Chains A and B, each alone.
Chain A
Amino acid sequence: MPFFRFNRFIYLFLLAVGVFFLIFVKDVPLVSGFLLRTVSFFVKLPSEVGESLRKGMELYVGLVKLKEENERLRKENEALRSKLVELNERLRFFKALKKTDATDISLYPRVKARVIYKPFSPFENYLIVQVMERDKRSYIKPEMPVVSIAEDYPGALVGQVVSTSKNGLAKVLPITAPVSAVDVISSRSRERGLLRGRGKGRPCLLDYVPTGADIKEGDILITSGMDALFPKGLRVGRVIRVLPERRQGFFENIEVEPFAKVRSVEYVYIILKRRARNLPK
């Protein structure tokens, strides 16, 4: 009987140590990587089976050719828009003769990743992605920007990497999450604001734009590069509504539709913002 009690004591002690690690040391890369691997292990299989089934159903039930054409045109449109914004940015930079400011997103090194799980609950925020090329799995680090793919060209901003594991898994915070904030500017008027998420399927909020600032419906927002997280010039979203009521009496109430569709995104690029070791030249 004492032996049984001793065993129980060890069991409870180990449990307490485990809980302590999970709760208080979860931001340590080793623990967050372990959590990422554990959760991914359980969700990967049903996620892939469900995805295959959904694709199969779509293939047979849906209007296949129309959907494919639509998808192709959407990607082409996305790529052209990215190009257009980039060219506009270049034009603006050259006009202002500020060559030192010029950035070209396509020149950033990047790795392709597949979304292996995206929760649909309004209270769950993060995505899990996995880098597809095995030799580049060690390149990804927290705080790296994640963008959609538009014909092998970096598309619109999806979010940022929060934690990573050694086998190329990454937890991504999308820009639609309520805890996300991105520093953006209008590509037309250069007015600055903070884009905050309001949950899945909801337009984002452009916050801290003072009353009377030059923001109109249809304005395209790009990252400002001033938050030291996202490089300048990534497409983020379009202003869809400027509401008449003020926020906190000082700020405009502006709704923004993000370009990246977090619900349907399947592949993404992780932009290697930091200089990772062993990067190809």
Chain B
Amino acid sequence: MRAKNRHLINAIFLLGALYLKVFLERVFEVYLGDPFLAMALLVALEYRFAGRFLVFLAVGVYEGFFSPSGVLSALIAGLVVVALKDPLLKRLYQETPYSVLLVPLVLLSAYRFTYTILIPYLLDLPLPHGWTLAFSKDVLLTTGWVVLFGIAMRVGRSEALSRLQGL
């Protein structure tokens, strides 16, 4: 029951992040990072193989729809993130605040670099003009969302779980 609740809560979080991304873009008409990717990263890293695969597939379907790289590229980028996670956590001293920023920054940079730069380059797809600046801005803003969601999820999930168990 507890695991099912966790899946349900994660699915709601993911959907909420997608709604937040679209809503903010439409209200302010500027790019404010990618809350959906930030949430997907947090959720995917919690799961094992099948769960991660499903989350990155959802991200791939969404991102592959709007960019020419496609679904497969998002899955490959997801694999890069998964492969990087364990060595990164093993080598970092987790007790300091900088690791809270550094881990998502490295993982997101790896994901975005693979998905938006490396794979389009290999597929001979053109990149937007000034992609370095766009890439840096994107990664920094999305890292901000990861940190924000990371904190919110810790508080929110324990609250939601206790309420669901009480029902």
- Which A residues are closer than 8 A to B by beta carbons? 12, 15, 19, 22-23, 26, 35-36, 38-39, 42-43, 45-47, 49-51, 53-54, 57, 117, 119-126, 171, 178-179, 196, 198-200, 202, 263-264
Query: Is B93 at the interface (CB under 8 A from chain A)?
Result: no
Q: How many residues of B contact A (CB 8 A)?
A: 42
> Does B22 contact A47, Cβ atoms closer than 8 Å?
yes
Among the interface residues B26, B63, B70, which one has the most CB atoms of the partner chain A within 10 A? B26
> Does B70 contact A122, Cβ atoms closer than 8 Å?
no
- Which B residues are closer than 8 A to A by beta carbons? 15, 18-20, 22-31, 34, 50, 53-54, 57, 60-68, 70-72, 75, 116, 125-131, 134, 138
Known: A117-B22, A123-B128, A264-B29. 19 other contacts (CB 8 A): A39-B61, A42-B18, A42-B19, A46-B23, A50-B23, A50-B26, A53-B27, A54-B26, A54-B27, A119-B66, A121-B66, A122-B138, A123-B67, A126-B65, A126-B66, A179-B125, A179-B126, A199-B129, A199-B134
- In the docked arrangement, what's the CA distance between A51 and B26, Å? 5
User: Would you call the interface of chain B mostly helix, strand, loop, or mixed?
Assistant: helix
> Does B134 contact A123, Cβ atoms closer than 8 Å?
yes
B125 neighbours in A (Cβ, 8 Å): 178-179
> Does B19 contact A45, Cβ atoms closer than 8 Å?
yes
The A-B contact count (CB < 8 A) is 112
Instruction: Using A19-B57, A50-B23 as known contacts, say yes or no to A122 and B128 having CB atoms under 8 A apart.
Output: yes
Who on chain A is nearest to B16 by CB? A46
B63 neighbours in A (Cβ, 8 Å): 124
Who on chain B is nearest to A52 by CB? B26
Instruction: Using A38-B61, A42-B15, A178-B125 as known contacts, say yes or no to A122 and B26 having CB atoms under 8 A apart.
Output: no
- In the docked arrangement, what's the CA distance between A22 and B71, Å? 7
> Does A120 contact B68, Cβ atoms closer than 8 Å?
no
A43 neighbours in B (Cβ, 8 Å): 18, 22
> Does B129 contact A198, Cβ atoms closer than 8 Å?
yes
A12 neighbours in B (Cβ, 8 Å): 50
- In the docked arrangement, what's the CA distance between A188 and B75, Å? 49
B134 neighbours in A (Cβ, 8 Å): 122-123, 199
B65 neighbours in A (Cβ, 8 Å): 35-36, 39, 126, 171
A122 neighbours in B (Cβ, 8 Å): 31, 128, 130-131, 134, 138
A23 neighbours in B (Cβ, 8 Å): 70-72
- In the docked arrangement, what's the CA distance between A273 and B52, Å? 44
Among B18, B68, B75, B138, the residue within 8 A (CB) of A125 is: B68
Q: What's the nearest-Cβ distance from chain A to residue B134, in Å?
A: 4
A35 neighbours in B (Cβ, 8 Å): 61, 65
Who on chain B is nearest to A123 by CB? B116
Instruction: Using A179-B125, A198-B128 as known contacts, say yes or no to A125 and B66 having CB atoms under 8 A apart.
Output: yes
Who on chain B is nearest to A53 by CB? B27
A199 neighbours in B (Cβ, 8 Å): 128-131, 134
